[in-house]
Chains A and B, each alone.
Chain A
Amino acid sequence: MSLSPLLRKVFLVDLLKGLSVTFNNQSEKERITEQYPLERPVVFERYRGQPRLNVNPDTGESLCIVCNLCALACPEQLIVVKGERNPVTKRKEVVSWTYDLSRCMFCGLCEEACSTDALELTQDYEMALYSRDGMVLDQAALEHGQEPVRYAK
């Protein structure tokens, strides 16, 4: 064996290099742990999270026109929309609107299919519940959005 590799082997250079890497990574600026739930991660705009039925901010009525495109687009067929035609405004209005969160895979196809920006997948991600009963969301729950339990005594 030539001299340089032999010296490196005898003086354990490779092991010392590894040791220096781990030693240098101890400094505080390298740590990236987020201490949830004190520090909640920030998600970005396009995040596909909790679904929400949007409401017209001025009039307060739902933007959904019961076109049923979202229900047709969903791979799991977990959206059920029932509407009836309002004879006065000659437009369809929502009677019942359910979304089964337990089977949703957050693929976003319903959000893409919606023609009026009524259905939106928001940036909320704290959707854990203790039982499956609360997982089928109705219109009120969908419009209200979500209130995660804050970390408190």
Chain B
Amino acid sequence: MSDSTKLDYLDLDVKDKTFLDTTEMVLNMGPQHPSTHGVLRVILKLDGEKVLGTECIIGYLHRGVEKIGENRTYTMFNPYTDRMDYVAAVSNGLGYCETVEKLLNVEAPARAQYIRVILTELCRISSHQVWLGTHALDIGALTPLFYAFRDREEILKIFEKYCGARLTTHAFRIGGCIYETYEGFEEDVKKFCTFFLPKLDEYEELLTTNRIWVTRTKNVGILKPEDCIALGVTGPVLRASGVKWDLRRAQPYECYKDLDFEIPTGVNGDTYDRYLVRVAEMRQSVRILQQAVDSIPAGPIMAKVPKVIKPPVGEVYHSIEAPKGELGYFIVSDGSTQPYRVRVRPPSFVNLQALDVMVRGMLVADVVAVIGTLDIVLGEVDR
């Protein structure tokens, strides 16, 4: 945790350059705040209502996950990855399993890949639903939260039926999947797709053209594509700024190369575009689901992986397109059963750096909207 008394980054001692000599206010949106999506502390330097600068203080949810990784075997570390981005646990597990598989130089069999893709896309929809509900709640619309969680309930039921848990799923294993699809898995997914698309239209009716929503989100928190790339921002935030970069297309993993889907991009890079991009992503996820569920191949679900995993000495970095951006794992192996180093590149952590750039010149009410639109999860930021 940084020393919060040293705020020289915010130029607090510099005399105000305007002749009006207004005093600037330092406002602390503390760790306990209804809208900071977890324990995030943001120190705002305000001039009246306008924001001049921000400083984020994180670490309130640091649990030492990477250190834990150094003291667990590869199989044992799998459940810990669920707890980082606890909203989209399946993706975290997928990224980790794929990285270790890359280290071991094995590939999951085709059937396992399809099951993984189906669950990951369901997870993407569920994560975007949480984002939609909480973002709308921050801006003041109380109801989309409950509608989003109702749809999420259906997805979590599928997760529960498949792997036994709703939130901390531990769905995949190194080398494939351990759980075979249950009786009625395909029907459930298809039923969900038909159930979900009209609901998505309902949310759009409630928000997309609503004049209050549009005035609250248009031209708020604009992030130019050059800034995105310079800061390392990935995910829907990057795509809304106009850069068409999606790891599922750029560096295909699993069976995404066999599936047909579009990558929605935005134009202005403001909050409204990020909203449109995420809603469009949900529709594309449904499209992927409908294709994948019809073409799950038969076969084994687990590759030939030794019971005690001892990868060769080496290091590997592998990243996937998590719902929030590029989730990367960097694993250094020293030949033993426990990794030497597990480093996680969380998308929320890197995206959070863009907060300062996006919020300068905006009003206090917009800070909340921008934090919401970045879609951060503090479990991932702090690990």
Question: Do A and B touch, yes or no (CB under 8 Å, in the complex)?
Answer: yes
**Complex partner residue of B170 from A14, A32, A44, A107, CB under 8 angstroms:** A107
**Complex partner residue of B164 from A32, A46, A105, A109, CB under 8 angstroms:** A46
Closest chain B CB from A82 CB (angstroms): 22
Q: For residue A46, which residues in chain B have a CB less than 8 angstroms away from its CB? A: 160-164, 179, 182
Interface of A is mostly: loop
Q: For residue B77, which residues in chain A have a CB less than 8 angstroms away from its CB? A: 75
Task: Check if A60 is an interface residue, CB within 8 A of chain B.
Answer: no
Task: Check if B178 is an interface residue, CB within 8 A of chain A.
Answer: yes
Q: Which of B133-167 contact A (CB under 8 A)?
A: 143, 147, 150, 153, 157, 160-165
Closest chain B CB from A91 CB (angstroms): 23
- Is the Cβ of B143 less than 8 Å from the Cβ of A22? yes
Closest chain A CB from B98 CB (angstroms): 19
- Is the Cβ of A109 less than 8 Å from the Cβ of B76? yes
- Is the Cβ of B80 less than 8 Å from the Cβ of A32? no
- Are A106 and B205 CB-contacts (below 8 A) given A15-B211, A112-B178? no
Closest chain B CB from A21 CB (angstroms): 5
Cα distance A113–B160 in the bound complex, in angstroms: 20
Q: For residue A43, which residues in chain B have a CB less than 8 angstroms away from its CB? A: 160
Closest chain B CB from A47 CB (angstroms): 5
Closest chain A CB from B164 CB (angstroms): 4
Task: Check if B263 is an interface residue, CB within 8 A of chain A.
Answer: no
Interface of B is mostly: helix
- Are A14 and B75 CB-contacts (below 8 A) given A21-B202, A46-B161? no
- Is the Cβ of B76 less than 8 Å from the Cβ of A75? yes
Binary contact track A138-151/B, C-beta < 8 Å → 1, others 0: 00000000000000
- Is the Cβ of B210 less than 8 Å from the Cβ of A109? no
Q: For residue B202, which residues in chain A have a CB less than 8 angstroms away from its CB? A: 21
- Is the Cβ of A48 less than 8 Å from the Cβ of B165? yes
Task: Check if B209 is an interface residue, CB within 8 A of chain A.
Answer: yes
Task: Check if A57 is an interface residue, CB within 8 A of chain B.
Answer: no
- Is the Cβ of A109 less than 8 Å from the Cβ of B206? no
Cα distance A46–B183 in the bound complex, in angstroms: 12
**Complex partner residue of A21 from B72, B75, B150, B206, CB under 8 angstroms:** B206
Closest chain A CB from B200 CB (angstroms): 12
Binary contact track A70-84/B, C-beta < 8 Å → 1, others 0: 000111000000000
Identify the closest chain A residue to B80 (Cβ).
A75
- Is the Cβ of B205 less than 8 Å from the Cβ of A17? yes
Closest chain A CB from B67 CB (angstroms): 14
Q: Which of B191-233 contact A (CB under 8 A)?
A: 202, 205-207, 209-212
Task: Check if B126 is an interface residue, CB within 8 A of chain A.
Answer: no
Cα distance A25–B199 in the bound complex, in angstroms: 11
Q: For residue A105, which residues in chain B have a CB less than 8 angstroms away from its CB? A: 79, 83, 168
**Complex partner residue of B160 from A47, A75, A121, CB under 8 angstroms:** A47
Cα distance A92–B156 in the bound complex, in angstroms: 41
Q: For residue B212, which residues in chain A have a CB less than 8 angstroms away from its CB? A: 15
Binary contact track A112-123/B, C-beta < 8 Å → 1, others 0: 100000000100
Closest chain A CB from B289 CB (angstroms): 20
Binary contact track B70-97/A, C-beta < 8 Å → 1, others 0: 0010011111100100000000000000
Cα distance A78–B142 in the bound complex, in angstroms: 43
Closest chain B CB from A25 CB (angstroms): 7
Cα distance A74–B153 in the bound complex, in angstroms: 29
Cα distance A121–B76 in the bound complex, in angstroms: 17
Q: For residue B209, which residues in chain A have a CB less than 8 angstroms away from its CB? A: 14, 17
Cα distance A9–B165 in the bound complex, in angstroms: 47
Closest chain B CB from A51 CB (angstroms): 13
- Is the Cβ of B165 less than 8 Å from the Cβ of A47? yes
- Are A21 and B76 CB-contacts (below 8 A) given A9-B211, A108-B170? no
Task: Check if A87 is an interface residue, CB within 8 A of chain B.
Answer: no
Q: For residue B157, which residues in chain A have a CB less than 8 angstroms away from its CB? A: 44
Q: For residue A9, which residues in chain B have a CB less than 8 angstroms away from its CB? A: 211
Q: For residue B75, which residues in chain A have a CB less than 8 angstroms away from its CB? A: 73, 109
Q: For residue B78, which residues in chain A have a CB less than 8 angstroms away from its CB? A: 107
Q: List 9 A-B contacts (CB under 8 A).
A: A14-B209, A46-B160, A46-B179, A105-B83, A106-B165, A106-B168, A107-B79, A107-B168, A112-B178
New A-B pairs, 5, CB < 8 Å, besides A32-B153, A75-B79:
A47-B165, A74-B76, A75-B76, A105-B168, A121-B164
Interface residues of A (CB under 8 A from B): 9, 14-15, 17-18, 21-22, 25, 32, 43-48, 73-75, 105-109, 112, 121
Interface residues of B (CB under 8 A from A): 72, 75-80, 83, 143, 147, 150, 153, 157, 160-165, 168, 170, 178-179, 182, 202, 205-207, 209-212
Q: Which 5 A-B pairs have CB atoms at the shortest separation, nearest pair first?
A: A107-B79, A75-B76, A46-B164, A48-B164, A14-B209
